[in-house]
Structure 1
Amino acid sequence: MVNKLRGIIPPAVTTFNSDETINEELFREHLEWLLQSNIAGISIGGSTGEGHALTAEETRRLIQIGKEVIDGRVPIIAGIIRDSTKEVIEYAHAAKDAGADYLMITPIHYFRPDDEAHVAFYSAISDAVDLPIIIYNVVATAVITPECMARLAEIKNVVGIKQSGGDIHALNKMVLTLPKEQTVWSAVDALLYPTYALGAEGAIAALLTVLPELCVEQWEACERGDYERAKEIHYQMLPVWLEMDKTNMPARTKECLRQRGFNVGVPRGPLNVLSDADREAIRQALVSAQVIKDEVLN
């Protein structure tokens, strides 16, 4: 399957109330804010969206809301983080029924599956649900190697891979060796512009959610070959990522957005809200990135 999706694709957070129900009004506002930048798509239910904690019906509902708000302006990529083929197919059907345009699926998190298991897993999903599949290579116990990805690229609905886990070397090898119709998206948040220079065709990453306007500007700078400006933006954004890339990243992402003036609710348990010290460190990073003023934290 040929993929035409490239560019900046921020993963939406899931806006939970204090009782852990979904706040649909805040979710709509969050999506509208992301759409103000020249983004190429929105991911719903990925790891930034706490997809591991969502039921199939919640995933369906969030995508339904996304479909209403986005109204065809950009594609919706449905993140699915489950630990059995059966569950993934259940979620994938829910996502397709709700109007998702793509599926973004992690490998399972347990038992260290070998390449044969990865191929069987994604083949079964492709056979069951006819939507383009983006493989999300982020699970430390189930790494998709470039060699395994070459096999997965032969599966009918697989269109590419979101390369995460900080491994720019694997991303580089995938860009060099995968068939040209396969897309490699970057999720190496600390090194986005070098991955674009190496051939990544955009990004799907948490930093994009917090700083969408800067990430789009950086991508567009790379597209026109202005790597000096891309490097400037890299160093402008890096302090923010260094504060996000710690334990409890969904809560850190939400705190970044809260300090930027956007209420996106609390994380779902067992994730907890951040300490005052963490919140202050995030404030200083956002000030350094010039996206908030240097004011006392409230």
Structure 2
Amino acid sequence: MKMKWTGVFPAVTTKFTENDELDFETFDLNLEAQLEAGAEGIILGGSLGEASVLSDDEKFELLSHTLSVVNGRVPVLLNIAESTTKKAIEVARKAESLGANGLMLLPPMRYYASPEETLVFFGAIAESTDLPIMIYNNPVDYKIEVTLDMFAALTKYDNIQAIKESTRDVSNVTRLINRFGDRFKIFTGVDPLAMESIVMGADGWVAGLVDAFPRETVAIFRLIKQNRIAEALTIYRWFLPVLELDVHPKLVQYIKMAEAATGLGTENVRAPRLAVEGAEREKVLKIINDALAVRPVLPVGSWGK
């Protein structure tokens, strides 16, 4: 499948049963909701997918299952977040052998790699696979920034094709376009900065709250691309308090709470994460329920297959 780097790519949550096993029944319910709403790609095993607590077997089982359910309707990408180059290459090759359509790639985990080390890491993985790659640039959470000069060095790898822009600096979208034109496709990766980034020219949105609100997320993206800015802004202003749950350390718990509230998931997380309780829980539920109480009617044609 040729990668089409555009549209909303949900970073889906990993669903667990009460017995802490993979919950494919609930996962499939959510996955179909994403596809029905018009998602144009699926990303597995990201931060929101609780990658750090999944075994390799679980990651690959999740990938194989998703590829089977999606059945070619949209690309399926596996996130790679590994501590060593050797392990990252192993994951990339295994993902390719199982039929993944692409990869999302983080810098080395748990080591503050220098720019040179980061570039060698990315290059080694790119050379190990034919799969198209999105570089996830999130210096806020992962402490390593991929600078414009570093991206310039990565242009020699044809399969490094896209950037998940999560620096929290909206101007970086413009800087990337000014420097590279359309060499890299740019995806906004911070929900509460999504509309601003798409207006500035981002090609897509790796989204989190889409897991609970797929139609609204797709509608915002499509309306902006149709230059129906006022309509998109109305939805976005309604959505923003919920979107801000995406930039909290407990984003996994918060977004799973939203999934449960909209009937698209459960709140089950894997330890060391714990369920949100007390005043914090009430605060988050109020944000979600306040939004649900005035959920907007979406313009015709703004979402769907």
Asked whether the two chains share a fold, i.e. TM above 0.5, the reply is yes
Letter in 2 for 1:31: L
Equivalent residues of 2:30, 2:211 under 8 A apart: no
State the 1:248 CA deviation. 1.7
Distance 2:163 2:289 in 1: 33
Consecutive unaligned residues in structure 2, runs of 5 or more: 296-305
Number of the residue aligned with 1:194: 196
Aligned residues between the structures? 292
State the 1:75 CA deviation. 0.6
Normalising by structure 2, what TM-score? Answer: 0.89
State the 1:236 CA deviation. 0.9
Letter in 1 for 2:204: G
Number of the residue aligned with 1:263: 265
Post-superposition CA distance 1:235-290 (Å, at most 9, x none): 11111022342222111111110111233351111111111333322322223333
Counterpart mapping for 1:254-293 below 5 A: 254-290=256-292
Runs of 4+ in 1 over 4 A off after TM superposition: none
Equivalent residues of 1:248, 1:272 under 8 A apart: no
Counterpart mapping for 1:135-174 below 5 A: 135-139=135-139, 140-174=142-176
Normalising by structure 1, what TM-score? Answer: 0.91
Consecutive unaligned residues in structure 1, runs of 5 or more: 294-298
Counterpart mapping for 1:212-223 below 5 A: 212-223=214-225
Percent identity between matched residues is 27
Letter in 1 for 2:73: R
Equivalent residues of 2:212, 2:259 under 8 A apart: yes
Distance 1:179 1:85 in 2: 30
Matched, 1:26 2:26: yes
Equivalent residues of 1:193, 1:219 under 8 A apart: yes
SS in 2 for 1:184: strand
State the 1:20 CA deviation. 2.4
Distance 1:135 1:248 in 2: 23
Number of the residue aligned with 1:82: 82
RMSD: 1.9
State the 1:291 CA deviation. 6.4
State the 1:177 CA deviation. 1.2
Distance 1:291 1:112 in 2: 44
State the 1:148 CA deviation. 1.3
SS in 2 for 1:262: coil
Number of the residue aligned with 2:35: 35
Equivalent residues of 2:83, 2:111 under 8 A apart: no
Counterpart mapping for 1:230-245 below 5 A: 230-245=232-247
Number of the residue aligned with 1:95: 95
Equivalent residues of 2:5, 2:162 under 8 A apart: no
